[in-house]
């Protein structure tokens, strides 16, 4: 291997999964050696990043996205990211396709929700957090999902999110109604949306 392991890490934004490191010619021994010398740190099982990178601004979302690229940040975790809740999530809420294997992680704790194909694929935005691409549902899709899961997360949380969305974001009634249809909560949402307009 001609290229230094540190250079390989840097060329990949300073973060590599074990499988990516091995594919680029960095051995397990070299990875553990770099970790033991304090050059890289383990972010989560099988994921490493350069120690000299700036601290991760949202380590939980970055960790989940690195380990489970198909998981989409949803519900209260997405509300928090979009700054339309006062809730502080104690776990990361993620959506996965209905038939997929459920992700599990020692830390951070996950709340995994299985979504139908249409509900899963609709409304995904990709946000860059510390150079890592993180899939998060749009504010409008998140609100529709929250109405769908209102019995799990609480109607007070849903209504507060709608109020904060109206105050802090550009109110997009068309998008909200489209996502309400996709999530089959149009009848539930419509009166609240009409009251908000």
Kindly state the DSSP code that residue 74 receives in the 8-state scheme: -
Domains with residue ranges and CATH for the chain = 5-50 (no CATH), 59-196 (3.30.460)
Per-residue confidence (pLDDT) for residue 181, from 0 to 100 = 93
Sequence-separated (6 or more) residues with CB below 8 Å from residue 39: 6, 50, 51
How far CA 191 is from CA of 174, 178, 184, in Å, comes to 14, 15, 14
81 has pLDDT over 60:
yes
pLDDT band at 160 (very low <50, low <70, confident <90, very high): very high
Residue 106 has a CB neighbour count (10 Å cut-off) of: 8
Cis before 108? omega within 30: yes
Q: How confident is the model at residue 44 (pLDDT cuts 50, 70, 90)?
A: low
CA dihedral 42, 47, 49, 55 (to 10 degrees): -70
């Amino acid at each position: 291997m001609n290229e230094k392991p540190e250079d390989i890490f840097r060329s990949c934004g300073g973060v590599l999964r074990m499988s990516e490191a091995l594919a680029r010619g960095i051995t397990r021994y070299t990875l553990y050696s770099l970790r033991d010398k304090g050059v890289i740190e383990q972010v989560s099982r099988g994921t490493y990043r350069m120690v000299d990178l700036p601290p991760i601004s949202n380590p939980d979302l970055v960790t989940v996205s690195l380990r489970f690229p198909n998981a989409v940040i949803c519900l209260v975790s997405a509300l928090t990211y979009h700054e339309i809740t006062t809730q502080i999530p104690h776990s990361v809420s993620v959506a996965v396709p209905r038939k997929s294997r459920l992700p599990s992680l020692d830390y951070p704790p996950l709340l995994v929700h299985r979504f139908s194909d249409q509900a899963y694929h609709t409304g995904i935005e990709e946000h860059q957090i510390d150079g890592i691409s993180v899939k998060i549902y749009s504010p409008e899709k998140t609100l529709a999902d929250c109405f769908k899961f209102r019995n799990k997360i609480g109607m007070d949380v849903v209504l507060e999110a709608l109020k904060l969305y109206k105050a802090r974001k550009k109110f997009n009634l068309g998008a909200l109604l489209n996502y309400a249809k996709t999530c089959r909560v149009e009848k539930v949402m419509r009166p609240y949306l009409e009251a908000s307009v």
